[in-house]
Structure 1
Amino acid sequence: MIVGPNHNGIGLGAAVYKGDAWETPLGLIEVEKEVARLIVEYTEYYSFDNEAHVYEHSLEVQVPFLQYIYGNVPIVPVTVYVQTLDVARDLGSALARIREENGVDIVLLASSDFNHYEPHDVTVEKDELALSKIMELDDEGLYKVIEEYNITMCGPAAAAALINYALKLNAPKPVLLKHATSGDITGEKDWVVGYASVKFPHP
């Protein structure tokens, strides 16, 4: 299951992909259609809509890594344009319900950049504020620091959905694997984007 932001605003505000498969240079990867159907059934805000996925990159860049490591592991692609806490919690709760009522072992991958287009030091500081709330499993706190400190994180709803899902499962606290900015790679540190990798232990 992969959820990420809808950057272009095309299609519905919370869109579940309806189809048989996605194709990447590594081949086809199956879409788990029954889980997709249950997400739409169990949520208030999410509907089937393929238009929202046509030009969106936040999910498709993750898929080749999944194929390379796991092969044809089934996915359910979901994009979110309406980045509210209610929309995020709606998805997290639905996934927990699907797991409990239907016996589906769902692993949720949330895709998001962190702060955008400020100097490296500023971005690191802002990212750490957001990351602290993610590590504390505080979805409401994440939204508060984003607003208070003007953190231009593109997918807060994806992260908050993952937090909510982890809380519903009583999962252990997450582990920060890596935090960096584009400046760490390019050397250009006046105008960077923040990135992080956080692992939520699977209960």
Structure 2
Amino acid sequence: MIRKATVAGAFYPDTKEAINAQIDSFDTRAGEPEPVMGLVVPHAGYTYSGEVAAKVYAGAKVASSVVMIGPNHRGGAGAPSLAIMSEGAWETPAGTVLVNDALASHIMAETPLLEDAPQEHELEHSLEVQVPFLLRLQDKVKIVPIIISHIPDDFIETVADGIYMGIKKFGDGVTLLASTDFSHYVSQNVAERLDGEAIDRILNLDSRGLLDIVREKRISMCGVAPVALVIEVCKAMGAVKAELVDYKTSGDITGDYSSVVGYGGFLIS
């Protein structure tokens, strides 16, 4: 299956030249990129969250294969809990990336909860917006896309173990990527307070604490499960720290701080 771009021209430009120009316009102020096990990046339109994402990517040496995990914003009660696209390619104006079918096969063999459901990916934007950034780092990068519609907290570690074992059996270098935005449509002060609590848990690589605080404080963090999952897989791979690269809100772009969305970017190593 070839997945066509669905949010080009809306979330990001619809030509390669314009995409590269917008990415180049972001102020990253990065030093030398370093090897990382995982990334946490936002997925709003580039106008709003692109600079945060660009700073994360600028600081990372990404492997030749990336397991991308994001939320399924359209997934209703009948959607698979975890939907993987196990083969094919993703087309964007920035270029085409192949799905790493060998890596996907290993992950599926170790993770029975994963359902091969490429149709779930057709309209989901949270991973598509990452592809142009990845292509700037690795023009031959391959991906394994996974989206989550709903998963009990108690299953996070089980799924993480399966993904880790699949990566281990695959053997080659793999980077994990979690796609999330933080608080949605609250004031700047509320977003900074609530998101700060979630950020603290991520910095401590505390996936259970992250899940608990998001539920307890009702933080509207759409990718909390993907982030928790990536934290657990990275810890199994030996990760010992997370770094907050940047945090901004939509208010920093629009000037309207009465109702904002939060965007945070992290490197896990």
What TM-score comes out, normalization by structure 1 length?
0.94
SS in structure 2 of the partner of residue 110 of structure 1: strand
Moved more, 106-115 or 96-105: 96-105
SS in structure 1 of the partner of residue 174 of structure 2: coil
Question: 1:119 and 2:187 equivalent?
Answer: yes
Question: 1:192 and 2:256 equivalent?
Answer: no
Gaps of 5+ in 1: none
Corresponding letter in the other structure for 2:195: D
- CA distance in 1: counterparts of 2:172 and 2:115, whole angstroms: 20
Corresponding letter in the other structure for 1:7: H
Q: 1:98 aligns with which of 159, 166, 172?
A: 166
- CA distance in 2: counterparts of 1:74 and 1:101, whole angstroms: 17
Asked whether the 8 Å contact 1:85–1:160 carries over to 2, the reply is: no
1:40: how far off? 1.4
Asked whether the 8 Å contact 2:98–2:142 carries over to 1, the reply is: yes
Question: 1:129 and 2:163 equivalent?
Answer: no
**CA distance change for structure 1 residues 71 and 91 in 2, over 3 Å: closer, same or farther?**
farther
* Equivalent pairs, count: 201
- CA distance in 2: counterparts of 1:179 and 1:83, whole angstroms: 27
Q: Deviations over 1:84-103 (max 9, x none)?
A: 32443233212321233331
Corresponding letter in the other structure for 1:92: A
SS in structure 2 of the partner of residue 77 of structure 1: strand
**CA distance change for structure 1 residues 86 and 7 in 2, over 3 Å: closer, same or farther?**
same
Gaps of 5+ in 2: 1-66
- CA distance in 1: counterparts of 2:118 and 2:144, whole angstroms: 12
Which residue does the alignment assign to 2:93?
25
Question: 1:173 and 2:241 equivalent?
Answer: yes
- Choose between structure 1 and 2 for higher RCO, CA contacts under 8 A separated by at least 6 residues: 2
- CA distance in 2: counterparts of 1:108 and 1:87, whole angstroms: 18
Which residue does the alignment assign to 2:104?
36
Asked whether the 8 Å contact 2:103–2:170 carries over to 1, the reply is: no
Percentage of matched positions with identical amino acids: 36
1:175: how far off? 0.6
Asked whether the 8 Å contact 2:69–2:226 carries over to 1, the reply is: yes
